[in-house]
Amino acid sequence: MRCSGCGVELQTTDPRSPGYIPKEVLERRMKEGKEVLCRRCFRARHYGEYEDIRLRDFLVEYKYVLREFENHILVVDIFDVEGTMREELLRILSGKKVILVLNKVDLLPKYVRKSEILMWIQEKFEGEVFLISARRGHGIASLRRRISAGGKAHLILGCTNVGKSSILKELTESEVTVSPHPGTTLGLIERKLKDSKISVFDTPGLITNDRFVDLLKPACQRKILPRDEIRRKTFKSKVGRLYFLGGMVIMESLVEGTMFKIFSSEGVRIHETSMKNFERLIKKSWGRFLIPPCSPGEIKYEDIEWEEIIFELNEGEDLNFTGLGWLNVKKGSMRVKIRKPRGASVFLRDALINPKRKR
């Protein structure tokens, strides 16, 4: 039996796979002789949203759709550019018209100029870029005009928690259409651009598995998401001192006297201590004071496979801990030992915020 919305074969065993519907719902709908929708289509039709999908499944399920559409909108989170501007997506979109939407720019300190951010992102992406804040409505009107001027349908995509749903809410009418689409068994959600006949086709939020936040439960992820201007704390490095980014990143300075900053959201604890306090701090404060994790039992310290990597940074460089925050060298050079969960990605990059960058 197939879903009447997207046409996928219905199944009642795996909630994470296409075509899922709770068994009792399927039996009830069949008994009543009513339309039967998979859970994904039900949520899309009644709530205008998709269930998320694993990135690797998306690349398989939607590869023909991605190639068919000429115009794409890729939404990226300014707080985690490396973690959400996925190389896998950029490769498959190569040769297409891609508008890069850098969302949540309101999180950056007010002294950071848009021209500075544009210069920084254009070193990573050569196409068209829009800096917006869906939360505050900044840049939405310009983006809408650009899509409308293109005259053709656009496909929008992005990782979970980048704000794609908020952007769509601002860009499009509330009415949605769910329909089968050639090349995918999951169907597409179609919305009309406000005051326009141009369609924007939505795709599921992409679930990654290599960001620090991916180790956390969804409730904890939401808790530590930055909502206001990101915090930053300045330190002068000392050999043997430890610097915590919650409980998920432990930094040990191997040099003296370097001025550096740690940037993160208000929900992530930034803490400095001595090496002799390490074991006591982990035992008493893991998931309590050292957040994330958001509770001691969410993920246990001893259950994590830890690895240590030494990085060397120069003035004007960042070390980005995907989805969690970053370290920035303000003055001097730094040699730092990072203790982190194995598989959680760290990126060395030119500083996102650099007052000395030539404009």
pLDDT at residue number 100: 98
Higher pLDDT pick, 17 / 337: 337
Query: 185-228 pLDDT, tens per residue?
Result: 456 788 899 988 899 988 888 889 999 999 999 899 999 999 99
Query: 254-269 pLDDT, tens per residue?
Result: 999 999 999 999 999 9
For the ranges 6-15, 22-31, 98-107, 157-166, the lowest mean pLDDT is seen at 6-15
Residue listed under structure tokens 């803490």: 271
- Other beta carbons within 10 Å of 95: 8
User: Side chain identity at 82, as an amino acid letter?
Assistant: E
- Other beta carbons within 10 Å of 356: 8
pLDDT at residue number 186: 57
pLDDT at residue number 176: 62
Q: What is the mean pLDDT of residues 7-14?
A: 88
Is pLDDT at 298 greater than 90 in this prediction?
A: yes
| Count of residues in the chain | 359
pLDDT at residue number 179: 56
DSSP letter for each residue of 188-239: EEEEEETTS--EEEE-PPEEPSSSGGGGS-HHHHHHHS--SSPEEEEEE--T
Q: What is the mean pLDDT of residues 21-47?
A: 87
**All structural domains of the chain:** 1-47 (no CATH), 48-208 (3.40.50.300), 213-350 (no CATH)
Percent over 90 (pLDDT), the chain: 70
**Mean pLDDT of all residues belonging to the chain:** 91
Q: CA torsion sign, 217 to 223 to 229 to 234?
A: negative
pLDDT at residue number 175: 65
Query: 137-181 pLDDT, tens per residue?
Result: 999 999 999 999 988 999 999 998 999 988 998 998 766 665 555
For the ranges 239-243, 301-305, 353-357, the lowest mean pLDDT is seen at 353-357
Q: What is the mean pLDDT of residues 120-125?
A: 95
Is pLDDT at 357 greater than 80 in this prediction?
A: no
Q: What is the mean pLDDT of residues 313-317?
A: 97
Query: Which helix (H) or strand (E) is 27 found in, with range?
Result: helix 23-32
Is pLDDT at 128 greater than 70 in this prediction?
A: yes
Confidence band of 56 (pLDDT split at 50, 70, 90): confident
Residue 75's DSSP bridge partners are 101, 158
Percent over 70 (pLDDT), the chain: 93
Higher pLDDT pick, 131 / 174: 131
Q: pTM for the whole thing?
A: 0.86
Distances (CA, A) of 69 to 62, 64, 153: 11, 9, 8
pLDDT at residue number 359: 56
Confidence band of 282 (pLDDT split at 50, 70, 90): very high
What are the tokens at 313? 């940074």
What are the tokens at 3? 């879903």
Confidence band of 59 (pLDDT split at 50, 70, 90): confident
Confidence band of 45 (pLDDT split at 50, 70, 90): confident
